Structure 1
Amino acid sequence: MIYNVEKETMNKQDKEKLQLERLQKTVRAVYENVPFYQEKFDEKNVTPDNVQSLEDLKKLPFTKKKDLRDHYPFGLFAVDQKEMVRLHASSGTSGKPTVVGYTKSDIEVWSEVVARAIASAGGEPGSVLHNTYGYGLFTGGLGLHYGSERLGMVTVPISGGNTARQILLIEDFQPQVICGTPSYVLNIAETMEKMGKDPRKTSLKFGIFGAEPWSEEMRQTLEKKLDIKAIDIYGLSEIIGPGVSIECHEAQDGLHIADDHFYVEVIDPETLEPVEDGEYGELVFTSLTKEAFPIIRYRTGDIAALNRETCKCGRNSVRMSRVKGRIDDMLIIRGVNVFPSEIENCLLQVEELVPHYQILLKKNGTMDHIELQVEVNKATFEKCAGDMEYLNMDELRRRIQHQIKSNCLVSIQVQIMEPGSIPRSEGKAVRIVDLREEKVLQQ
């Protein structure tokens, strides 16, 4: 189902004309109403009149997360507070949160792009959507909620946590779609198994997963364990929230960007120059229709590539690859750059392991030291009669290290743990634990 046929199948010429009209309006709005942007434009000696084509976007300054924090809380808003209807904010775990605002029109646009996204993932009017994303200042819960209602679905706003009750409602309400972080929905499936229930026997047909990086191997695990199609959704509050892009269930081959509302670039994070389609680089987004919090050339820190070919589902919006990782999550192990998702790919190919792991960053004298904690599955644990000493740890450890060495080109210390040893999350999974300064980084 295509929710908005006119916009999602618009030809290239009409799309670019619409994008330029909306870009020019947005650029004028930020220049006239946001002192930060007026100053940045003046520094580059550009004005709204200099934007006569989409190529002219490259003349404009980048926006970084630091700029949002430096102008906390409302310094980048383009409308008066009396025009606003809602605020959202990040968790602020590394300092002051980043704050974003919405007008009534912004909420309407957000609802529509999320409705498109859910329809792309297999949602239909009248079917039931089970939403485990957190409600509150985090944009995930309310973003999916409003889009689901806009599409005409029956929405279950259960949020995260209380896993036993989640399972009860899945059994009783018979939803077709579940939304959440992949790690938490996997936790729901594992809890069902512990309760003697088969997670493949539910009514679920589609899962919409995001808010944390996850691999193709994790997709296969979720699809096999729950007998569903696992769909990747992407969004960030600085742009609007969830719904910036999503895979279609027909192809599951790249995430369709709502590019009539969000203009995307991919740049080399070092040179800041654009890269060719198909090459990986940093995603940069410019909002085209936001009123309260328009943003120009926002550097997301997310690594992905673009594909402009028409998809077999019929949509011809530009597609982005699955996010490979974040620039600030990248690990440098003996000079080699490695993303946690690449390590996850390797672990999910070892049949004795479950898809839960943590990367511990430690100090060994003056040198950084990295330790990978993995967890054996229940079947493997039972084979050794519940005694890890009887498991051939050295052989299993060698296979894990070989898998990582072959695919990531690094050697890493591996600690094998019993089932249930690694903490489960009811939201975003904690994959990297930095013990060098006793701080936890959420991925």
Structure 2
Amino acid sequence: MIWNQTKECMDREQMRLLQGARLKKLVHRVYHHTPFYRDKMQQMGLTPDDIDTIDDIVKLPFTTKQDLRDNYPYGLFAAPQSEIVRLHASSGTTGKPTVVGYTHRDLSIWSESIARCLTAFGTTRDDLFTVAYGYGLFTGGLGLHYGVEHLGATVIPMSTGNTAKHIQLMHDCGSTALACTPSYALYLAEQIIKSGIPRSEFRLRTCILGGEPWTENMRREIEAKLGVDAYNIYGLSEIMGPGVSYECRCKSGSHIVEDHFYPEIIDSNTLEPQPAGGQGELVLTTLTKEGMPLLRYRTKDLCSLTYEPCACGRTNVRMSRIVGRSDDMLIIRGVNVFPSQVESVVLELPEFEPHYQLVVDRVNNLDTLQVQVEVREAFYSDEISQMMALKKRIADRLHSVLGIGADIRLMEPHSIERSEGKSKRVIDKRVLK
């Protein structure tokens, strides 16, 4: 099933013509209604008339997270307050939060984008969703909520917390689909086992995961433990929220809703476009957004794009899994390290649980990396020789993947703190000194 056959299966040349027309309209909008962009364009000697086709997007300025903070709260809005019907904001973990405004049309496009995603996952109006993303300023909860309703399905707005009640309602009401972070899906699987309710009594068959990076190994872990098909959904609050891209049942990359969000891949250092298929930083332009449209927003997410049509019939460009972020990449003794690399190793070794933390420190002016990882109960032992063998096994594998040695600390089962939201995977003590 395909929700929007016209847009999701559009001929590439037709798509480029549509994107070009929408880009031209967008540039006129921000030039006349957003002083920030007008000033940027004037400094570059650009006017809206310089933009004719989608190829002209490279002439336009980039936008960064810092630009949003510098213009807090409404400086990047392109619609008057009388047309803004909802505000969302980032968590604000560093500096001021980024505030995003939506018009009625923005919310309608968002809901339609989510409906495309849900249909690609194989869900229909006959499904019952429990949405366990956070509701409120975070875009995850309300984004999925209204998308499910737009699909015509039933939604239980669980939000985060109170996992015992979540399990009870999933079981008693017959939930068939779950939307949450990958970390919470694993946590929920553990708690279902502890609840004593047989998994066979649950009707859950689809898991919609986003909000944090995850790997193919984690997908297999979640699918095995929950007995579901797990699909990736991607988004970010600055652009819209969840629903910017989505996997289909082929699970071979995430289709970008490119009639609304135009993607580019650039080199994070030179800012130059990468060749087709090349890995780099994902840049997104909101082609149709009214409340707070953004030109060439640097997401900091590292991935690649493929324009080959998918076996599912969709022709929209697909993005690979996020392999890391250009701004949370760890540089340890001159080596680039991504938490996702560690995760892939942990999940490929059957002796370990998918729960880990990276602790980075600096001792005598030398960076150190400690990897704390839980051992599964079946493999945890008081025999020192057995534990040393396990430690060597994961240490050798990590060294071959990362290119540097790591101090491995084997943890008892269930000893690493669980999260009902995004897991804190990295503790970088260097920033405290």
Structures share fold, TM-score greater than 0.5: yes
1:210 matches 2:210: yes
Give the Cα–Cα distance (whole angstroms) in 1 for the partners of residues 24 and 383 of structure 2. 67
Give yes or no for contact 2:17–2:53 (8 Å, CA) kept in 1: no
Instruction: Tell me the secondary structure at the aligned position of residue 332 of structure 1.
Output: strand
- Tell me the secondary structure at the aligned position of residue 327 of structure 2: helix
Distance 1:208 1:414 in 2: 32
The answer to whether residue 416 in structure 2 is matched with residue 416 in structure 1 is: no
3-state SS in 1 of match to 2:144: helix
Unaligned stretches of 5+ residues in structure 2:
none
Equivalent position of 1:271 in the other structure = 270
Which secondary structure state, in structure 1, belongs to the residue aligned with residue 85 of structure 2?
strand
Q: Distance in 1 between matches of 2:358 and 2:199?
A: 28
Tell me the amino acid that sits aligned with residue 358 of structure 1. Q
Give 1:233's aligned residue. 233
* 1:173-192 → structure 2 map (5 Å cutoff): 173-192=173-192
Instruction: Give the secondary-structure state (helix, strand or coil) at the position aligned to 1:379.
Output: coil
What residue number does 2:24 align with? 24
1:321 maps onto 2:283 in alignment? no
State the TM-score, normalizing by the size of structure 2: 0.98
CA distance 1:199–1:363, shift in 2 (3 Å): farther
CA contact (8 A) 2:133 2:180 kept: yes
Q: Compute the displacement of 1:366 (Å).
A: 2.7
- In 2, the alpha carbon distance for the partners of 1:139 and 1:199 equals 30
CA contact (8 A) 1:200 1:225 kept: no
Identity %: 50
Is the 8 Å Cα contact of residues 143 and 241 (structure 1) preserved in structure 2? yes
Q: CA-to-partner distance for each residue in 1:46-67, whole Å, 9 max, x for gaps?
A: 1110001111110000000000
Which secondary structure does the structure 1 equivalent of 2:272 belong to? coil
> CA–CA distance in 2 between the matches of 1:200 and 1:72?
50
Secondary structure at the counterpart of residue 369 of structure 1: strand
Q: Cα distance, 1:93 vs. partner?
A: 1.1
Contact 1:15–1:260 (Cα < 8 Å) also in 2: yes
Q: Does 1:89 align with 2:89?
A: yes
Deviations 1:347-374 (A, max 9, x none): 1122111000011122313333221110
Task: Give the gaps of 5 or more residues in structure 1.
Answer: none
Answer whether contact 2:126 2:153 (CA < 8 A) is retained: yes
| 1:438 shift after superposition | 4.9
Residue aligning to 2:195 = 195
CA distance 1:438–1:335, shift in 2 (3 Å)? closer
| 1:143 correspondence with 2:175 | no
Is the contact between residue 200 and residue 226 of structure 1 (CA under 8 Å) also seen in structure 2?
A: no
What's the offset of the Cα at 1:174?
Answer: 1.2
**What residue number does 2:379 align with?**
380
Alignment partner, residue 352 of structure 2:
353
Paired residue type of 1:306: L
| Partner Cα distance (1:172, 1:277) in 2 | 49
Structure 1 partner of 2:419: 425
**What corresponds to 2:362 in structure 1?**
363
Mean CA deviation greater in 188-197 or 199-208: 199-208
Q: Normalising by structure 1, report the TM-score.
A: 0.95
- Tell me the alpha carbon deviations over residues 294-326 of structure 1, each in whole angstroms, 9 at most, x when there is no partner: 000000000000010111111100000011111
**1:233–1:245 Cα contact (<8 Å) kept:** yes
Corresponding position of 2:118: 118
2:393 alignment partner, one of 390, 399, 404: 399
8 Å CA contact 1:30, 1:38 repeated in 2 = yes
Amino acid at match of 2:87: L
Any idea what SS the aligned residue of 1:165 has? helix
TM-superposed CA distance for 1:328, in Å, is 1.5
Kindly indicate whether the alpha-carbon contact (under 8 Å) linking 2:368 and 2:406 is maintained by their aligned counterparts in 1.
Answer: no
CA shift in 2, pair 1:8/1:352, >3 Å: same
The Cα of 1:162 is off from its aligned counterpart by 1.0
Of stretches 193-202 and 392-401 in structure 1, the one that deviates more from structure 2 is 193-202
Mapped contact 2:218–2:354 kept (Cα < 8 A): yes
- After superposition, the C-alpha distances for 1:369-419 in whole angstroms (9 at most, x for unaligned) are 2211101112223xx3xxx45572211111001111122222111101111
Residues 171 and 201 in structure 2, CA contact (< 8 A), matched pair in contact too: no
CA–CA separation in structure 2 for the residues paired with 1:253 and 1:86 = 34
1:208-238 residue CA offsets vs partner (Å, 9 max, x unmatched): 1010011111011111111211101100011
- Alpha-carbon contact 1:361-1:435 (below 8 Å) kept: yes
Aligned partner letter, 1:346: V
Supply the distance in 1 between the matched residues of 2:385 and 2:142 (Cα, whole angstroms).
46
The Cα shift of 1:127 comes to 1.1
Q: In the comparison of the two structures, how many residue pairs are matched?
A: 433
Corresponding residue SS for 1:15? helix
- Give the whole-Å Cα distance in 1 for the aligned partners of 2:341 and 2:239: 26
For the 8 Å contact 2:178–2:207, the answer to whether it is kept is yes
Deviation per residue, 1:32-75 (Å, 9 max, x gap): 01111001101111111000111111000000000000000000
- Which amino acid is 2:271 matched to? L
Structure 1 partner of 2:100: 100
Structure 2 contact 21–53 (Cα < 8 Å) conserved: no
Q: CA RMSD in A?
A: 1.3
